[in-house]
Amino acid sequence: MKVFHGIIEIAGQMGILCGALKRKGNIAVGYNTFHTYLGYKDHLINTDAVELRETFKHFLNFYDIFHYHYGASIFIDHDDLQMIKKKGKKVIMHHWGNDVRFHDMARINNPYVYTGDSPSNDAIHQKLTTLSKYIPEAIVQDYEVLPYVEKYYRKVHVLPLAIDLRNFQPSYPNIEKKKPLILHAPTNPKFKGTAIIEGAIDQLRDSYEFEYKRIEKMRHSQVVALYKEADIIVDQILCGSYGLLSVESMALGKPVITFIRPDLVSKFPASLPIVNGNPDNIKKKLKMLLENPLKRNSLGIMGRRYVEEVHDRNIVGDKLLSIYSQLFKGR
């Protein structure tokens, strides 16, 4: 199978999925036009939209499946989608959250959510209406994102975030450590609730011995090296679901605090060991972990196991291939 991925790399997922597909004998290439300080490059061709448009006719002739991400396709007016459809090739859209998070809908079950990075409701509606004219099926990462898009597509698949575990050797928190290290890496502080997290941390400084590091504007590979030193990692406490930082933290054997919306808890496997913290209880959750080194260690072990079962790229890759094969069956 020959698979095109493009054109926006989000959290390294395009590259990881391409790597997983290639490992299983498929030709898969991620074409990325969104270049950030995170510096993703594995299994990617970092290019620009102009070159993609110039060479699109070859893509159209070569690839069997076009797997687009983040609501974007190669041509601004989505001419490529029309051509793909006309040619009888398969296409699927992978939505990641901020591209489709309707502001009002996000608040229904979540008083904390920040949606300032999402386009307006009208713009999201217009975009999804246009995309779904040409794209029958979509993928989302979890049940938080699912409701935003499910009424637009014939079918929406839930595919967990993928991780290449070879790059994450677990380093479980040392139960003897007297001054634990709390880490937080806000790629987007407003979305993650950084101010509230740091407010809670400040309040705990007088009562507990710990270090705190905020990691920002670093290449992804450098960030991962720093995570290894952590004893507690705080991901995002507003969105209502967990993201890549949580997955990577668990892979490294770290306990992680994230807010999982109460109505979504049952949608995840029961073994999910995330400490469920929101703006109202973040201080309490941090306190619990600071006071309990054994808990930090055992959550770390459970996290690694969870990620091996749910997020390993080989497992996710098999699920993705199954989604692709369903596209062909739905001819």
Partner 1 sequence: MVSLEKKMFFLPYKLYAKKDKLLVSFNLAVIPKDMKVKAIELHIPLIKSNEAHIVKVAEITEGWSEETIKLVGIPKERRVVQIVKSIPQQRELIINVTAFHKKWRVKKDNNYGVLVSIKNLDLGYLENKPPFLVVDTI
* Closest CB to partner 1 among residues 45, 204: 45
Part in contact with partner 1 (CB under 8 A); list of ranges 23-31, 99-107, 128-136, 282-290: 23-31
Stretch that binds partner 1, among 50-58, 129-137, 206-214, 230-238 (CB under 8 A): 50-58
Q: Is 47 in the site for partner 1 (CB under 8 A)?
A: yes
Q: Which residue has the tokens 């201080």?
A: 283
Q: Interhelix angle for 244-251 vs 293-310, to 10°?
A: 110
| Residue among 1, 23, 105, 321 that touches partner 1 (CB under 8 A) | 23
Both tokens of residue 149?
A: 């898009």
Q: CB under 8 A: which stretch of 58-66, 177-185, 228-236, 291-299 binds partner 1?
A: 58-66
Q: How far apart are CA 132 and CA 130, in angstroms?
A: 6
12 token code pair:
């390294």
CA distance 140 to 223: 25
DSSP state of 38: T
Q: Judged by CB under 8 A, which of 6, 12, 19, 255 binds partner 1?
A: 19
24 binds partner 1 (CB under 8 A): yes
Is the CB of 66 or the CB of 114 nearer to partner 1?
66
Residue 113 CA to residue 124 CA, distance in Å, equals 17
Question: What minimum distance in Å lies between the beta carbon of 139 and partner 1?
Answer: 22
Near partner 1 by CB under 8 A, which window of 25-33, 65-73, 127-135, 299-307?
A: 25-33
Stretch that binds partner 1, among 17-25, 77-85, 123-131, 201-209 (CB under 8 A): 17-25
Selected from 55, 130, 132, 326, the binder of partner 1 by CB under 8 A is 55
Strands 275-276, 155-158: pairing kind: unpaired
Interaction between residue 61 and partner 1 (CB under 8 A): yes
Q: Is 45 in the site for partner 1 (CB under 8 A)?
A: yes
User: Which one of residues 13, 26, 110, 141 is an interface residue with partner 1 (CB under 8 A)?
Assistant: 26
Is 46 near partner 1 (CB under 8 A)?
yes
Would you count residue 59 as binding partner 1 (CB under 8 A)? yes
User: Which of residues 1, 41, 125, 204 is near partner 1 by CB under 8 A?
Assistant: 41
CA distance 296 to 250: 11
- Interface with partner 1 in residues 274-303 (CB under 8 A): none
Q: Does residue 58 belong to the site contacting partner 1 (CB under 8 A)?
A: yes
266 lies in the binding site for partner 1 (CB under 8 A): no
Size of the site for partner 1 (CB under 8 A): 20
Q: Which listed residue (8, 11, 16, 29) binds partner 1 by CB under 8 A? A: 29
Q: How far is the CB of 57 from partner 1 (least distance, A)?
A: 8
For partner 1, the binding residues (CB under 8 A) are: 19, 22-27, 29, 41, 43, 45-47, 51, 54-55, 58-59, 61-62
